[in-house]
Every structure is written in structure tokens, then in C-alpha cells.
Amino acid sequence: MNDRPSYGSVFFMFLRNSLVRDLSFRSNFWVECVSSLSWVIMNLGFYLLIFSYTNSIGNDTGWGKWEFFVFLATTLLVNSLVQMFFMPNIQEFSELIRTGKLDFALLKPIDTQFLISFEKVNWPSTANFLFGILLMSISLYQLTHRPNDPIELTVGMVAVYIVFLLCGVAILYSLMIVLAASSIWLGRNTSLYDFWFYITSFSRYPMEIYNAGSLGLTLKMIFTFAIPILIVVNVPARILAQPMGVDPTDKWLLSGYMIVATGLSLLFSRWVFKKSLKSYRSASS
């Protein structure tokens, strides 16, 4: 018997098991798809309403209607990936700590962080993912077919976009792990989801909106450098919606920084996770 488990096949097994479980309750599966989609569509309605009163978000920022919808689609893609792979697992992780059931995960001959991060896959989130792709396609069609300087889409841009999209997912994942691991010290963490919602609400808009006043600049600095959630959507969305960017140097600096931030976040979350496991005192039996 091989000592090292094959992570690929274990992951594939997780995917399959979750799909089987989700499809066993088929009407529940569809209700979940429809309800998460209706949330997204209502949000889209809100932005359509906003764009009936303005033609761009911020003056001279370049975030017109279709550019912003590329941004929105990116938010949707990042969030649906996080919801699909990590959200249910990491909520479960806090619960495992509280009830002491983490013992079982610790005993398995596989990396604990891998196990608790991927065990469940929330398949209904693919509905949002597909909707994100649809919205992205429509917005990109509009941007590439507009009469004044249409965007020229290249394969390279799409490839770079995908890389940065995954970086964004990795940053959010790291933040989640850090938040959840903190429940080892706090005993329980009921407001985890609330905190997550409030913090990530800063990542939902183009970072140019924070260019007003000292409070805005402070927030921009904090959420770019201390907790790098502002770049999660901003960097990939800019690659597609504003290929040249408003300020090219700024764009390359930010992209470079995002790669570094992703690496650092992952390392930091891994460190917090290991540290938290050392403080874990089983509450079971």
C-alpha cells in the first residue's frame, strides 16, 4: 500500500460524492440554484437602476456600464468558486472544533487542511458560476463591439485573467481559513459568516471609489496591504475591462503585488492553521 495518498483521486472522490449527495435531493438542489440566482439577478437589477442615473462609477475612472458588468461578473465568478469549494467546508470546520469532532479529521492519513477544505463541494453554486460566464460574455461582446476604441481580446489576456481569478480565490480562501482557525482560540465563532460578509463587502466595488478623502485612502491602504481583499476582483477585472488601464504602471505594479499577496496569504493561513491545531484541545469523549 502506498503511504502517500493520491490527492488528485481523493479530490475527485469528494467531487463525486458531493454530486451524488446533492442530486439525491433533487428538488432541493433546484431550489438552491434558483434562490441563489434570484439573489444575483436582484443585485443586477440594482446596478441597472444605478446606471439609469449615471454613465460611469466615479468620474474619469473608466468604469462605464459594461466595464462594471465585467467587474460584476468577475465578482460572481470568484464568489461562486469560493462558495462551491470552501464556504460549506470552512463553516463546518468551526463546528468540528466546537464539538470536538476534529479528532477524526486529525487521525486520517491525509493533510488535515486539505481534508477540511475540500471535503464537500456545493454543486448548486455552479448556477451562479454559469450566470457569471453569461454576464461576462455579454459584457465583453459589448466592449469589443463598441464604436469608440473597442477592446481587442487576446488569448493571452484570457489566460492571465484566469490566473488572477484563481489568485483572488486563493486570497479569499486564506482569509476564510484564518477566520475559521481563530475559533480554536475563541471557542466558538457564530458571527464568522457575518464578519466575512461585512469584510468582503469592501471588495465588491472598483477601488477607484475609495479615492475620495483621507478615510477612503486609509480604507484603500488597509484593504490592499493589510487584508488584501480589494485586489481580489479589481486586478482580474481590470485585465479584461481596461486592458490598458487608466494608469499602466499602476496596473503592472498592482498585478505584481497580487501574485506576492497571494503567496503570502496562503503561507500565512497555512501558518495560522498549523498554529491553531497545536492549540486544539479535543472536546469530544
Partner 1 sequence: MAELAARASTWWAIFQINFYEKLVYRGDFMLGTLMRFLPIVTQIFLWSAIFSARGGGDSAGEEIVGYTYYNIVAYYLLSTISRAFSSMPGLASGIALQIREGEIKKYLIQPLDLISFFLLNRVAHKLTYYIVAAVPFAIVFFICRGYFEGWPPTHVLCAYAFSLILSFMLGFFMEATIGMIGFWFLEVRSLLFVYMLFTFFLSGHMFPLDMLNELGGPWSTIVKSLPLMYLAYFPAAVFLEKITGAELMWGLIVQVGWVVFFIIASRLAFHYGVKQYSAYGG
Interface with partner 1 by CB under 8 A: which residues?
A: 31, 35, 38-39, 42, 45-46, 49-50, 52-61, 191, 194-195, 197-199, 201-202, 204-206, 208-210, 212, 216, 219
Nearer to partner 1, 58 or 100 (CB): 58
Check: CB of residue 86 under 8 Å from CB of residue 176.
yes
Within 10 Å of residue 51's Cβ, how many Cβ atoms?
16
CB within 8 Å of 103: residues ≥ 6 apart: 282, 284
**Torsions phi, psi of 274, nearest 5?**
-65, -40
Report the nearest approach of partner 1 to the CB of residue 123 (Å).
Answer: 17
Nearer to partner 1, 17 or 35 (CB): 35
Burial class (CB in 10 A: 0-12, 13-18, 19+), 237: buried
Nearest distance from residue 78's CB to partner 1, in Å? 17
How far is Cα 72 from Cα 225, in angstroms, rounded to an integer? 22
* Shortest separation between residue 133's beta carbon and partner 1, angstroms: 23
Q: At what angle do helices 26-50 and 65-85 cross, to 10 degrees?
A: 150
Of 31 and 106, the one with the shorter C-beta distance to partner 1 is 31
Give the nearer residue to partner 1 in terms of CB position, either 238 or 262.
238
Q: Quick one: 39 or 225, whose CB is closer to partner 1?
A: 39
- Least distance from partner 1 to the Cβ atom of residue 217, Å: 11
The minimum distance between CB 56 and partner 1, in angstroms, equals 5
